[in-house]
Amino acid sequence: MKAKKTYAVFGLGRYGTAVAKELVENGMEVIAVDNDERIVNDAAAYLPVCKCADVTDAEVISRLGIRNIDTVIVCMANNLEASVMAVTLCKEVGVKNVIAKCANEMQQKILLRVGADKVVFPENESGIHLAKNLLSSGFIDMLSLSKDVSVIEIDVRDEWIGKNLIELNLRKKYGFNIVAIKKGETVNVNINPEQPLEAETTLIVIANIAKLGKIK
């Protein structure tokens, strides 16, 4: 049985709080952090692990054990310098997945350049939506078609490698439609369902977000 994924949320404004609450309500282990003691005290009522700390300090990152966290969500778009420092420190200690909230395209470019794995615009993606994506086994949400249906990228699972789409029958099992297969920078829309799937390949699918949690 796989160990439960762990998350850290830096910044408990409206967006960060929504992400943290949704993850906690779905049974995930979450460390919530803000540098405002009043906010932390209020959030402690519904977030089991809530810390008042400065995440731009390397010693704080070390003390909180962030190196052991699977995904860190940096929700401090109102302070670009703090966001950059938090992202940089997380990547330096080896966090594999760092998601940062941004306020504009310039911030997006900067945060991606310093190491963020994904940057989200709050006007395009709500905190709850982001949390649901994270809960759905780490899918990458490319385009929301509605509040329930999205075009997403999903890495080919180890157990799928060497099997073809007919054998796997993913549409019947998980309810999504595969529209393309991506390897590196090559995207193939002319899918051969009898072609075995390869490692380091991504499926681009249309799916109902609520049903994606079935894939573990």
The whole model's pTM is what?
0.65
The CATH 3.30.70.1450 domain(s) of the chain lie at 140-214
8-26 pLDDT, tens digit each:
999 999 999 999 998 998 8
Q: Give the chain's residues under pLDDT 70.
A: 1-3, 123-148, 209-216
Q: What is the pLDDT of residue 158?
A: 84
User: What angle is formed at CA 210 by the lines to CA 142 and CA 132, rounded to 5 degrees?
Assistant: 60
Q: At residue 175, what are phi and psi to the nearest 5 degrees?
A: 75, 25
Long-range contacts from 26-35, C-beta under 8 angstroms, 24+ separation: 26/131, 26/135, 28/4, 28/135, 29/4, 29/5, 30/6, 31/6, 31/7, 31/64, 31/66, 31/69, 32/8, 33/8, 33/9, 33/64, 34/10
The CATH number assigned to the domain with range 6-135 reads 3.40.50.720
The CATH 3.40.50.720 domain(s) of the chain lie at 6-135
User: What angle is formed at CA 203 by the lines to CA 200 and CA 204, rounded to 5 degrees?
Assistant: 140
Q: What is the pLDDT of residue 164?
A: 92
On whether the CB atoms of residues 81 and 109 are closer than 8 A, the answer is no
CATH class for the region spanning 140-214: alpha beta
